Structures are given as C-alpha cells and as structure tokens.
Chain A
Amino acid sequence: MRGKKLTLLFILAGLCLLMMFFSIGIGAVPIAPQKTVQVLIKHCTHPPLSVPVDTTGAIIWQLRLPRIILGFLVGASLAVAGTSFQGLLRNPLADPYTLGVSSGAALGATAAMLFIPQGSISLSFSIPLFGFAGGLLALLIVYRLGRVGGRLPVVTVLLAGVIISSFFSALISLGMIFAGQQLRSIYFWLAGGLALKGWPYVVLIIPYFIVGLLVLLYYAGDLNIILLGEESALSSGVEVEKVKKVVLVAASLVTAGAVSVSGMIGFVGLIVPHAMRIIMGPDHRLLLPAAALGGGLFLVAVDTAARTVLAPVEIPVGIVTAFLGAPFFIILLRRYRDQYRF
C-alpha cells in the first residue's frame, strides 16, 4: 500500500517535470523541444552569468523558465500551506485565505511597497519579509481571538480568520487610496500573476518554501496522530500544542513567500489538497510532498493556459485557476464521493 503510494509520488514528480518542460515550448513564440533542450544544456553547462545571445535563448532562459519555476514554487507553497491548515484545523474549508494569513501577508507586502522607496534593492527583499510579518500578525490575532480556554476550537479559529481577513483587506484598500504613484504596482501585484517575474523572485521564494516544507515534513507524523484525537495524541507523548503552533507558523511562512511574489492566487490552496488527499490518503508524510508536486503541476499548467489561450492577451491566472479548478474538483468529488469523507 505504502509502496503503491510512493510510486504515485514518483509518477506525480515525472508529470511535473514533463509539464514544465513542454510549457517552455508553448507560447506566443512556439519553440521546438530540441531547441529547448539545447538552450537548457547550454545554460547548465556554462557559467550562470553567461548572457544568452539569441532571442529564443533569451525567451527560454529569461522569460519562460523563471516564470515556470516560479509557478511551480507558488503552486507548491499554496497547496502545502492549504494541506497543513486543513489537516490541523480539521476543516475542509481552511486554506491560507480563510485563515486570514494571505490577507495578512498581502497587507505586509503592501506596506513594504508603500513605505520603502521604489526601485531600491531592499524593496524586493522586504516584500516577502513584510509579508511574513503580516501573515504571522494575522495568524497571531486569529490564534488569540480563536483561543478558548487554552485550546483552538475549529469554529472560533475560522470565524476569527474570516474577520481578520476582511479587516486586513479593508486596510489594504485604504492603503491603496493613499498609494499615489505606487497604486499601479500594488494593484497589479494584488491581482495575482506570474508575468514578468524573473529569477530574483525565484530566489526570493525558495528559502521560504524549503524551510517551511522541511519543518512541516518533520512534524507530519505528529500531525497524523493529532488528527486521530488530541487527547489520545497527548497521552501517547505528542506535544500537541507545540506541534500545532509550529505547523501554523511554518504554513504561514510558506504562504507569505507565495503571496509576496505572486499576490493573491486563489483556489490552489483549497482544491489541490483535497485532490491529493483523495489520491494519496490522509498520511501527511506522503500527502505533503504530493500536495507540493500537485500544486506545482496545477499552477504551471494553469499559467501556461493563461498566457496562451487568448494570446497575445494574458488572462489573469486567478481567473483560470477558478475556471479549471472548479470542474476538476467536481469531477473528483463525484468520482470518489463514497470513499471520501473529511
């Protein structure tokens, strides 16, 4: 059983690589796979700072590849965060948005864009840091508001999340009124998208993603036990409250990274975890890697569609996630209705 699931995981990883590879060739300027391979080999064997000479090479290396990798990382981050939040709160509706973490991260990033001068180098590094701070602030408030007698009941936590989410969104809107020149950049960033984001953004999100994912994987086994009942988990030696806090903070870290580079992209954090749980089962040691791969695969596919379907017009990726995500989810739900219960 476990072997079968590991195989599934490898298949998912293979699909991811294939999807990313073929996405490079798809776009306003179609590129043959052979050419893609050529360019990739050239860049991987030469010093990283070597400047590509031809346009195709530039399209691949400076436009499409970073965008695809960024898409993978953002999708993976959102799905991993969603999986953790859903599991920990035992709520199928929990994701970075319903908990207010995304709004918090967005508020933090907006603040960075408002108060740190445009064009300065520190801005791009400040956005995710501010985002993380904002996401943690939101989580802290939700944690405090939702806490009843030293515990974190699902209902109060979600209620607090919804309240904080709308409050922070209001603050962002207020900030935009006073934004002046930055209004445009804040607006486009908030709308969510992976367009025109090069390697620096990949570099920005990677530490958030890797640190968060490793921490979550470390506690995945504990999380499984907590899901079977908190009291029993405590009595079998799991430090329940500590694990819950660490998981919440790590999931916020991952969320903040994703929100900082791509703004608000919905649906991924909600549907991918469900889809993966249907396929992989509830064991978070396998489910988290599967969610990372599934989320990455999903967002790369969606972003590729978003930039090609109506080319040269790009559809905002959030619209496509909803378009593809909703029917996909319905199909999965109908097919596995009998076996799947949350």
Chain B
Amino acid sequence: MAVGIKIRELCFSYGSQEVLSEINMVVKPGDFIGIVGPNGSGKSTLLKNMAALLRPTRGAIEINSTGIEDYKRLELARLIALVGQDQQPGFNFQVEEVVYTGRYPYKERFRPPAGVDRQAVERAMYLTGCYHLKDRDLFSLSGGERQRVFLARALAQETPVLLLDEPTAFLDMGYQVELLQLLQGLNLREKLTVVAVMHDLNLASRYSRKLVMLNRGKIFARGSPEEVLTRDHILEVYRTEVLLEPHPMGGPPQIIPISPPTGRKGRERGRKIHVIGGGGSATGIINQLFLKGLTPSAGVLSIGDSDWVTARRLGLEMVEESPFSPIGLEQHRKNLGLVADASLVVLAPLFLGPGNLLNIEAALWGLEEGKTVLVLEPSSAGRRDFTGGPGGKLYQRLVEGGALLMEQFDLEKIDALLATGAG
C-alpha cells in the first residue's frame, strides 16, 4: 500500500517555546528523505510529529489525505513504524521477544503468534542480520547489535513508511554503513519509504535521495543532496566552513570541515590580498591564507590547473583563462582590477612562459601603483624562466622597484606586514 505524508503549515511549541514553524513538506511513496540540521533545529520534533507522538500546535499532517489525528493508534501502527532514540533495554528481554513486539498491531490479545507473524519476524531478523542473536538477552548485546534488533522490530511491523531518529548514533563506522545500505536496499527493492533524522551530513547525502535542512525550526533548504549541502548553506546553518570534495567513487561530494579560527566575520574584516600564480605555485599560499581567516583573490589562472581548482573549491574571486592559452587582454584588465582592490599582492613562484608574462606585468603595475608586492622565491626566478630573457628582466624590475622579497612563504611575516599597515 502506497502511503504519502503531507505536512501543511506545521507549527509546534513546547510550552511557549516554538520549536517548529511553518513546516510544509511532502513525503511521497518510495522517498528516502534525510532530515538534517544543527542541534536544536527541530529535527526530532518534526519526526515525532510525523509519528503522532506529538500533536502539532497548528497546521496539519495528512496521511493519504486523512488527518493523522483521525487514525487510531493501531491503524497508524500498520502504516508508519518508528525507530526512536528512547529504546530502553532496562529489562532483559530476549531478542526474539523484542522483535515479536513489532507484531502488536496485527495480533489479537492472548492469541499465540500466527504463521504470518513468525514469517515477518524471521524476515526482519534476517534482513537486519540479527537472526543468530534471536535467543540472546538484550543485556548481552553490543550497542550496534541492539540498534539492529530495534530496527528488526520496526521492520516486523511491516509498514510502508519507516521513520528513524538518528539510526546511526552509537554505531561504529562499519555498522553505520551497513545499516544505511540495508535501508537503501529496502527503499530500492521493497519501495519502503524512509524518513531519517541524521547527524552525519556525509552519510545523509550519500544515502538519502532528498534532503530537508532545518534551521531554527524552519525548513532552510530542501532538494537533492547537492542542492542542499552547499558551502553557503552549511556555513549559515552550522556556522562552519567546509570544503566540498568530489567523492573518488562518484556520487554527492564529501563535506570536509575546515573551520578557520577567525570564522566568517574575520574574513570580512581582513585585508584584501591578491595572489598571482598558476600551475600549482599558489595552492599552498592560498590554502594557508584561507585557513588563517583571509580570503585572497587570485589571478590569472588557467582553467583546470591545480591553482584554479584550489581557488574554485574555496570560492575565491579570480580571473581565469582558457587552458593552454596565453593571457588575453581582457583577462589582464580584470587581473589589474583585482590588484587595484588589494592592499597586498603576492607573486607566487610560478613558471614563466610567453603565455603568462602578463601576470608579472600585473605585479609590476601594482608596485608602480604603490601596492605592497611580495615576491616569493626570487632566487629561483632564473630557473623558472622559460621566456628566454623577458621574464628575468621583469623580475629584475620588481626587485629594483622595491618589492618585498621572501624565500619561503611565511604567514607570520605577512601578518606582521599587515599589522604594521604596510599596505
């Protein structure tokens, strides 16, 4: 039976404190929806409203177009099962007894379990890999085993919809992946509709088809994992800077927190720094500046080279040129614009060829305009010059023009430069 859930204008308050407001959401049959959001954003409360453990303060939840409050508990228990966070193995029941309690909505009192009950229970135990535990006591199980037993009990309920509240909490990495793969399999093969509150954004994006991101009781974003888990969204909701790296095996990108100590505000106050580089010469410099809380701009970088990848990953303002093409005038003009905006220009130890001489020209122009220009590794300039002369001459003019020279990129010195207001 296909079951859809429609949430309209849902508001929920604990006392006077509003926990959820204006939630509109649709769960279609066959969905795999991950609910993400920071602590206290209302994820679990939303799930509990969907499981009818809590009653909305305002708004409505409809299950197949009928209000959730119009269902009897037993009817609802045949449509929606919940794996909550409140499992209390306070009493030493046996695993099989626990899984059998999932048959409650189908069983008459005092009737011994029927064939269908036994089938459902055994299937649930097989699927969750806890059949071999069936005669064990709850107390003797590890946390991961116990979690699988409670999942088995929810599956024994044979509902078209399964709600899970942080199902992977307390599980080690192996069990986390195993459990989510099991859910994914059930979702794909059996069309089980899954709605799971998840803390781990990487797992959420990897296994959910759709994500709903909550922030302060409101839906902040929704859509595919790629649409929801953007750097800006995560920065705003979790107040954490992250990198999005493509997963080596494909699929949605991996989220890597980087969290520079200064945070976003520090970035906005920081001085403008422009890095001139290319071919990987500027990657280390850009990363170090970024982790220090500074957001440099970069120019002119060839599309696809490793400096360009770095700058794009960090979302930096940059000037880019087509691969293997000499820097065009248009790009050069833009680069000069960024130099003009910056208080410090850093020239990375880049290799020089006829195509990128304009990058050095840009640094030189900055120097003439009165900018502080930092030239890195001046001693190896000769070895990096493949122009047959002009490159070396430009470097010479930079040195004569009073550029700061630095053999090894040193963040502390740059700090000192910025602190003394050298710019």
| Residues on A facing B (Cβ under 8 Å) | 1, 87, 90, 149, 218, 221, 224-225, 227-232, 234-239, 281-283, 339-342
Contact = CB atoms under 8 A, between A and B. Distances in A.
Interface in B186-235: none
B105 interface: yes
A232 B73 contact: no
B423 interface: no
Contacts of A87: 91
Given A221-B109, A231-B86, A232-B83, A283 B93 contact: yes
B194 to A, nearest CB: 15
Given A229-B86, A235-B81, 9 more contacts: A1-B94, A218-B109, A224-B91, A231-B53, A235-B53, A235-B84, A236-B105, A236-B157, A282-B93
B54 to A, nearest CB: 10
Interface of B: 14-15, 48, 51-53, 73-74, 76-78, 80-94, 97-98, 101-102, 104-105, 109, 135, 139, 150, 153-154, 157, 163
Contact of A90 (B15, B77, B90): B90
A155 to B, nearest CB: 15
A231 B82 contact: yes
Contact of A225 (B53, B90, B104, B163): B104
Contacts of A230: 86
7 contacts: A1-B94, A227-B93, A231-B48, A232-B86, A235-B53, A236-B81, A237-B78
B77 A235 contact: yes
A230 to B, nearest CB: 6
A64 B15 CA distance: 59
Contact of B92 (A221, A225, A341): A341
A341 B90 CA distance: 8
* Closest CB pairs A-B (n = 5): A237-B77, A282-B91, A235-B82, A231-B84, A237-B74
Contacts of B87: 228-229, 232
B93 A229 contact: no
Chain B at the A interface: mostly helix, strand, loop or mixed? mixed
A90 B92 CA distance: 12
B379 to A, nearest CB: 69
Contacts of B51: 231, 234-235
Given A235-B77, A237-B74, A281-B92, A228 B101 contact: yes
Contacts of A1: 94, 135
- Quick one: which of B48, B74, B92, B109 has the most chain A CB within 10 A? B92
B95 to A, nearest CB: 12
Contacts of A236: 77, 81, 101-102, 104-105, 153, 157
B139 A229 contact: no
Contacts of A340: 92
B101 A225 contact: yes
Contact of A227 (B52, B82, B84, B91): B91
A234 B73 contact: yes
A4 to B, nearest CB: 12
A295 B384 CA distance: 94
A275 B294 CA distance: 68
A281 B73 CA distance: 28
B150 A232 contact: yes
Contacts of B154: 232
A46 B93 CA distance: 49
A224 B105 CA distance: 15
Contacts of A283: 93, 97
Contacts of A282: 91-93
Nearest to B87: A229
Contacts of A90: 88, 90
Given A224-B93, A282-B92, A341-B139, A234 B53 contact: yes
A229 B77 contact: no
